[in-house]
Chain A
Amino acid sequence: MELCDRTASELARLLQKREVSSREITESVFRRMDEREEKINAYITRTRELALKLADQADRRYRHNESLSPLDGIPVAFKDILCTKGIRTTCGSLMLRDYIPPYDATAVEKVLKAGAVLVGKTNMDEFAMGSSTENSAFGPTRNPLDPERVAGGSSGGSAAAVAAGEAIVALGSDTGGSIRLPAAFCGIAGIKPTYGRISRYGLVSYASSLDQVGVLGKSVEDCALMLGIVSGHDKKDATSAHTKTPDFLRSLNKGLKGLRIGLPKEYFVEGLDPGIKERIMAAVSLLEDNGVHIVEISLPHTPYAVATYYLIATAEASSNLARYDGVKFGFRTRENVTDSIMMYELTRSRGLGKEVKRRIMLGTYVLSAGYYDAYYLKAQQVRALIKADFDKAFEEVDCMVTPVSPCLPFRIGEKITEPLQMYLVDIYTASLNLSGLPGMSINCGTIKGLPAGMQIIGKAFDEETVLRVAYGYEKSIYR
């Protein structure tokens, strides 16, 4: 097994014992990139020189017994939606192709302070709008398990990089399922924590009330490790919670016995791939064997989640993306313009991709005078109902288990011309962004070589239980 195929937790132990160096791990990761990037296209920007420098610094710290954290010296990748000071941050868009942020996102700052080695910025659907990482100005990311298929999106680059050994762990962002879906499609683990758990400062906004930074790793333990490092209140983000960060690693080993796990019946209806359903039910049996109580529950407003999500997300996006106007930074048309309005129009027409423009127009419509009440306000009301569904169901259970996506990784190009089909991929994930709840995606088997994903949903700020169930399942599989 190559170093790059190992988990962060394993590598951390090896680094601690000084059996390997960060440079060796980092070189292994870059060798893998050299082998596979041409095909997979997980990265928009690779930072080899910086990475080797950071790796050497980490090795020096280990030699002096001054390591900063278990993440010290571990190669990480950031989704290219997280601002990195001095390193271009494109959001997968032509609009920001040459944009170099003057500051680090808070999550980035925390990971770098922990000593991690930044190996690159990963590909994504433009401004995180998409479920397949096909909407990128830098070309689609391909699934490492089957390069004819998509990696899922929008954090497809981060998921593919971790799955392919082109990074050990990665940061992503999740607005409607953008961490959980690609994690499921690439057969790895990914968690979107509770809204407010991780600072959004420096995460380029798509839909502010839904966006959340999260982590992707090969194992549940890696996710717990990384989550502990990036969590915590940030005074630069008014929506960041004042909650204390628990010791996520310690919560892993608490066992499954006695936990009550809900299966929301609305998540197992028509439209779900039978193979995925089968794998999930098998996983559920295994959990039951380990002492959990399975309870059927109901989340009656589930059918409205996707519609609600696309009203709120596009409304917020239409406003959030107004700053890309060619005035201050980013792309500006080179064509001759006669006034500022023309400059705006041409810059935005040329600089933004089709899906982004579609969502900006939808959102502009949703917020327009005369439509606001019927769409935006109504969507906010339904959002409250969806949230109330969860609150009620969580009176009976400690967490829930559902599929991540209704389908297996699809072929590149298969859904890209059918926006509605693409939107429906978010059907099991978007509710969690609307309600702000934590959700984790872990692998629960394969169907003809394609991975099936299982989603574990927790109460607000109870990532511990989510991680505990995920870890318990993972352990019982490998036992």
Chain B
Amino acid sequence: MDFDVIIGFETHVELKTDSKLFCDCPVDYDALPNTLICPVCTGQPGALPVLNKKAVEYTVRAGLALKCTVNRLSRFARKNYFYPDLPKGYQISQYDKPFCEEGRLEITSGDGQPYAVGIKRVHLEEDAGKLVHSSDSFEASEFSLVDYNRSCVPLLEIVTDHEKNPLRSTLEARAYLEKLRQTLRYIEVSDCNMEKGQLRCDVNISLRPKGSKAYGNRSEIKNMASFKAIGEALEYEIARQRGIIEGGGEIFQETRLFDEAKHLTLPMRSKEDAPDYRYFPDPDLLEIELPDDFVDNIRRSMPELPDQSVDRLVGQYNLPKEDALLLTRDKRVAGYFSACALFVQDRQRLSRWIIKDLFRLLKKSSLSIAQCPVPPEGFSELVNAVTRDEITEKMGRQVLEEMFERGVSAGSVIAEKDLKPIRDLKTLERLVDEVIAENLQVTAKIREGSTKPMDYLIGQVMKKTRGKANPKELAKLIQEKLLG
């Protein structure tokens, strides 16, 4: 049987505001446990939440980047459940009136075609604290400790649409998550560092026979925080469901957990056991009316989005699209390129040098572009030196390595290593004469009309100059000498 796969994503992203969502406590992932807490974020009796305006701004910015409708009126709701990391016994979230709804995110689909993934809603909520167990799991632990530093940190929830342009494969799911992360980083609302838990996903999967209109029952896999886990869990779950359906079985709606060590999903709770969160509007927070100029100001000051960045690099600098895509994966790389482009005329060469050589060096030393020891001015100087044939490409690479390792300028490496090309005609002529004298048999063949041994002679001269001559110039010289 052939199946359609339908995948839904609920992605939680921690916003990088200075302070928490409902109190003044700073947000800092590296602070010591329970040092960034107050009566509000520890749920002390009588403490009340006050909304952080910046977090709303970031939410609207994300909503606009995802082409959503921004609701004029929205409100917070309480999601009630007991858990030791949840100090108030409820999470302040959004339910029936989120800030943003009905958007889309364009990805490149498996067949290379653009596909606008449907976004159902973007809402704002508070994060819970963090449990630290004395052993591997809550159940097996003798005791668990709670760190409330993370409690009340603003969390964006982005939910994909099941009906309008849903995700249809693991490949699309991956492309979606990559594009989402890239977009959120571009608009600077989150660092989306998955290792720090700043981006976490709940994913749901259902299958239906191809062409069928009805949806199959879905399973939901909770709280995954790596591309690898999400990919594996999806593959496993699609295969599991396919197996059951093909064997005549039935899929039940349930929540499952992904076991990263065993590479499989395990049942957590069935639909019947699903908690009743008793959502209701939070009476401590009034309904929020977003004034038009608030939204307009955010729209006007919207940073460049990834697709716009690609278009700009292609349009403004005439780069091949593949290059532009590679340069814009990280906004800071695109920024580095643009900074260099101020000094470099040959933008295609610049692009190649960044993609091939700079990327290689960064990867080798596990540095991000922000930590790159070669500033754009220095990098431009190097690329220009190569363009002007002051040094060869090969030398350029050596120079770049020196610059990268020692943080020195291109000019100083070239001077220091005596890499400046030999331009003095007399010296070159002397060297050519020497080579001709040493290779009489070869030169005879050239005189007879064969061009092949030319390269050999050039190579010999290059050897004598330690690579510092321009091969084209040498060819001209040799030809003049031999053929007149």
The answer, yes or no, to whether A470 is at the interface (CB within 8 Å) is no
The answer, yes or no, to whether B97 is at the interface (CB within 8 Å) is no
Interface stretch (choices A69-77, A249-257, A324-332, A451-459): A324-332
Most A CB atoms within 10 A — which of B43, B47, B48, B286?
B48
Report A306-334 CB contacts with B as 1/0, cut-off 8 Å: 00000000011011011111011100000
**Contact pick for A101, options B46, B87, B138, CB 8 Å:** B46
Given A208-B284, A328-B42, A340-B84: A322 and B50 within 8 A (CB)?
no
A208 to B88, CA, bound (A): 14
Q: B89 and A235: CB pair below 8 A?
A: no
Nearest CB of chain A from residue B345's CB, rounded to whole Å: 56
Residues of B244-281 contacting chain A, CB below 8 A? 276, 278-280
Q: A89 and B82: CB pair below 8 A?
A: no
Given A323-B87, A327-B84, A344-B82: A204 and B278 within 8 A (CB)?
no
A324 to B46, CA, bound (A): 12
**Contact pick for A237, options B39, B48, B278, CB 8 Å:** B48
Query: Inside 8 A of B359's CB, which chain A residues have their CB?
Result: none
Query: Inside 8 A of A201's CB, which chain B residues have their CB?
Result: 46-48
Q: A364 and B278: CB pair below 8 A?
A: yes
Q: A236 and B48: CB pair below 8 A?
A: yes
Nearest CB of chain A from residue B36's CB, rounded to whole Å: 15
Q: Which residue of A lies closest to B139 (CB)?
A: A339
Query: Inside 8 A of B88's CB, which chain A residues have their CB?
Result: 322-323
Nearest CB of chain A from residue B149's CB, rounded to whole Å: 14
Residues of A230-245 contacting chain B, CB below 8 A? 235-239
Q: A316 and B283: CB pair below 8 A?
A: yes
A368 to B280, CA, bound (A): 10
Given A319-B280, A325-B89, A368-B278: A101 and B45 within 8 A (CB)?
yes
The answer, yes or no, to whether A449 is at the interface (CB within 8 Å) is no
Query: Inside 8 A of A83's CB, which chain B residues have their CB?
Result: 44-46
**Contact pick for A322, options B80, B84, B276, B283, CB 8 Å:** B80
Q: A204 and B80: CB pair below 8 A?
A: no
Report B39-83 CB contacts with A as 1/0, cut-off 8 Å: 100111111111100000000000000000000000000101010
Say which size band chain A's interface belongs to.
35 or more
Q: A105 and B284: CB pair below 8 A?
A: no
The answer, yes or no, to whether A190 is at the interface (CB within 8 Å) is no
A49 to B82, CA, bound (A): 40
Q: Which residue of B lies closest to A83 (CB)?
A: B46
Nearest CB of chain A from residue B252's CB, rounded to whole Å: 19
Q: Which residue of A lies closest to B277 (CB)?
A: A369
Query: Inside 8 A of B138's CB, which chain A residues have their CB?
Result: 340
Q: B44 and A367: CB pair below 8 A?
A: no
Q: A235 and B50: CB pair below 8 A?
A: yes
Given A201-B46, A319-B278, A367-B278: A238 and B286 within 8 A (CB)?
yes
Given A322-B88, A325-B89, A328-B87: A200 and B48 within 8 A (CB)?
yes
Residues of A90-140 contacting chain B, CB below 8 A? 91, 96, 99, 101-103, 105
Query: Inside 8 A of B46's CB, which chain A residues have their CB?
Result: 81-83, 89, 101, 105, 200-205
Q: B48 and A238: CB pair below 8 A?
A: yes
The answer, yes or no, to whether A30 is at the interface (CB within 8 Å) is no
Q: A238 and B50: CB pair below 8 A?
A: yes
**Contact pick for B45, options A89, A319, A367, CB 8 Å:** A89
A432 to B283, CA, bound (A): 17
Report A354-365 CB contacts with B as 1/0, cut-off 8 Å: 000000000010
Query: Inside 8 A of B280's CB, which chain A residues have their CB?
Result: 315, 319, 367, 372, 376
Q: A99 and B45: CB pair below 8 A?
A: yes
Report B80-96 CB contacts with A as 1/0, cut-off 8 Å: 10101001111000000
Report B372-394 CB contacts with A as 1/0, cut-off 8 Å: 00000000000000000000000
Q: A91 and B45: CB pair below 8 A?
A: yes
Q: Which residue of A lies closest to B79 (CB)?
A: A319
Query: Inside 8 A of B444's CB, which chain A residues have their CB?
Result: none
The answer, yes or no, to whether B229 is at the interface (CB within 8 Å) is no
The answer, yes or no, to whether A209 is at the interface (CB within 8 Å) is yes
Nearest CB of chain B from residue A417's CB, rounded to whole Å: 29
Q: Which residue of A lies closest to B24 (CB)?
A: A236
Query: Inside 8 A of A208's CB, which chain B residues have their CB?
Result: 283-284
Most B CB atoms within 10 A — which of A200, A235, A319?
A319
Q: A323 and B48: CB pair below 8 A?
A: no
Q: B45 and A238: CB pair below 8 A?
A: no
Query: Inside 8 A of A89's CB, which chain B residues have their CB?
Result: 45-46
Known contacts A324-B89, A327-B146, then 8 further A-B pairs from the complex at CB < 8 Å, ordered by chain A residue = A83-B44, A96-B45, A102-B39, A200-B48, A208-B284, A315-B280, A328-B42, A376-B280
List 23 contacting pairs A-B, 8 Å CB cutoff, sorted by A: A82-B46, A89-B45, A91-B45, A101-B44, A103-B47, A201-B46, A201-B48, A203-B46, A205-B45, A205-B46, A235-B50, A236-B48, A237-B50, A239-B285, A322-B89, A322-B90, A323-B45, A325-B89, A344-B82, A367-B279, A368-B278, A369-B276, A372-B280
Closest 4 CB pairs of A and B: A322-B89, A209-B283, A208-B283, A367-B278
